[in-house]
Amino acid sequence: MNKVTVMSASNVREDPIKLHKQAISLMENSKFEEARDLFIKTGDLYFKGQNYFGAAEMYYKAGEAAFALKDNEKAAELFMKSSEISFSKAFDRYGVSALEYARDCYTALGNQEKAEELTKKIKEVNQKLNQSSGSDEEQSFSVFS
């Protein structure tokens, strides 16, 4: 009698790089809801695997997908998660970019108090970054510029 090995779904390891590529493809094809969900899943996998920049990037991309869906509340949550990871790992410029997007979401939601709080934090981080780089100019950073 041959012994058959049955693999359960929990035994199958998901490849975050493959999921990352699938999520980007969904985003490029304007399938924002599916892209958002897959970016979140990929971000979770990257975080578990201690790929913190990958995780921050995936939550950022999930935020972009939610923003495209005009789900500003979810988008703000995802951008804030991206910024938290970014700042905890010294990806400060990436964190600022995520905060700027979150601020835009809170502005769209009419939450001026939260938007102003983020504007203040963005300004503080930019000043700190500019001091460490020897520049007195206030700069904003976007990963897409």
Measure Cα distances from 20 to 31, 35, 59 in Å: 14, 9, 11
Measure Cα distances from 36 to 74, 75, 104 in Å: 10, 9, 18
Query: How high is the mean pLDDT of the chain?
Result: 88
22-58 residue pLDDT tens: 999 999 999 999 999 999 999 999 999 999 999 999 9
**Domain spans, the chain:** 15-133
Inform me whether the pLDDT recorded for 77 exceeds 90.
yes
What is the CATH architecture assignment of 15-133?
Answer: Alpha Horseshoe (1.25)
87-141 residue pLDDT tens: 999 999 999 999 999 999 999 999 999 999 999 999 999 999 898 776 544 445 5
The pTM score is: 0.82
